[in-house]
Structure 1
Amino acid sequence: MISTPSIPDPLALERQVCFALSVASRSVVAVYRPLLEPMGLTHPQYLVMLALWEKSPLSIKDLSGLLQLDPGTLSPLVKRLEAIGYVKKDRDPRDERSLALKLTPEGQKLREEALKIPFKVVDRLGMTFEELMVLNKVLHRVIEAAT
């Protein structure tokens, strides 16, 4: 009699990539929360700031593409960042018909404080920077495959 290996349940919760990604996402965002609160930022606002620290000024359309967020979701984030004085809307120097988001001096200065965050996150997660870079690379492959 030939025995076949038992096939694990493909619907088992612990085997679901969507479940692991969802829990990991919430958990990692929770690690960021106390680091961002003193700067007056939520995690989505922090992502906007990261994009602008890298490539300011940015049109709303370009920012939307970078963050993979629709403009309707992005608009309240931008309004809040404007209200606290970290960004301002200006005419896009590449296209006067559209608006671009630009860092204020306060928003630029905030970058110095934010430089500490990645190191604190690495420390809090108890993983090496190299492990997190491998994870980041794999997650980008998942994102690419799913879009």
Structure 2
Amino acid sequence: MHLQCELVAERALVNPLGVSWLQYDVLLQLDREHRMLPSDLSIIMGISRTKLSKALKSLKAMGYVRQTPSESDGRELHTSITESGRQLLEDISLQHTSLYETAIESMTKDELEEFARLSDKLSTSLKQQRIARHE
């Protein structure tokens, strides 16, 4: 719990444009997946379509995402990150360097590798469980 609180506090410090945590997470997911339907994005992120729709609307207004009609069904919108969205993520990522440096200073190489492995394992498991609940 304490780690989560510390990470939330640090995250607030490195967000220069006041992008919400949800908006930031949407951008990160779109940067990984490149192009997604909002229905798939809401499942992967574990949030309601309504909540996602509001986040996408603001991100679109800020120029960080774009939506284009699906070729197979014009009612569906494929959502992707824009170059401005990628630049925002890059700017924030540069500020995260200090968090990385703190981790390096506070753990041995073996501890860092184990922490990364366990974090990836937990993240993957949580994501799989969210997806399975919607299948």
- The answer to whether TM tops 0.5 is yes
Partner letter of residue 119 of structure 1? T
The residue matched to 1:96 in structure 2 has which SS? coil
Higher relative contact order (Cα pairs below 8 Å, separated by 6+ residues): 2
Rate the CA distance shift 1:92–1:124 in 2: closer, same or farther, 3 A. farther
Greater percentage in helix: 2
Contact 2:14/2:96 (CA < 8 Å) preserved in 1? no
Tell me whether 1:106 sits opposite 2:89 in the alignment.
no
In structure 1, the residue matched to 2:5 is: 26
Within 5 Å, give how 1:40-119 maps onto structure 2: 40-93=18-71, 95-119=73-97
Q: Distance in 2 between matches of 1:74 and 1:127?
A: 36
1:14-41 per-residue CA deviation (whole Å, 9 max, x = no partner) reads xxxxxx3xx43333121111112x1442
Rate the CA distance shift 1:137–1:56 in 2: closer, same or farther, 3 A. closer
> What is the aligned-residue identity percentage?
25
In structure 2, the residue matched to 1:16 is: none
Rate the CA distance shift 1:91–1:52 in 2: closer, same or farther, 3 A. same
The residue matched to 1:41 in structure 2 has which SS? coil
Q: Which moved more, 1:120-129 or 1:100-109?
A: 120-129
TM-score, normalised with respect to structure 1: 0.66
TM-score, normalised with respect to structure 2: 0.71
Contact 1:31/1:124 (CA < 8 Å) preserved in 2? no
* Cα RMSD (Å): 2.8
- Name structure 2 gaps, 5 residues minimum: none
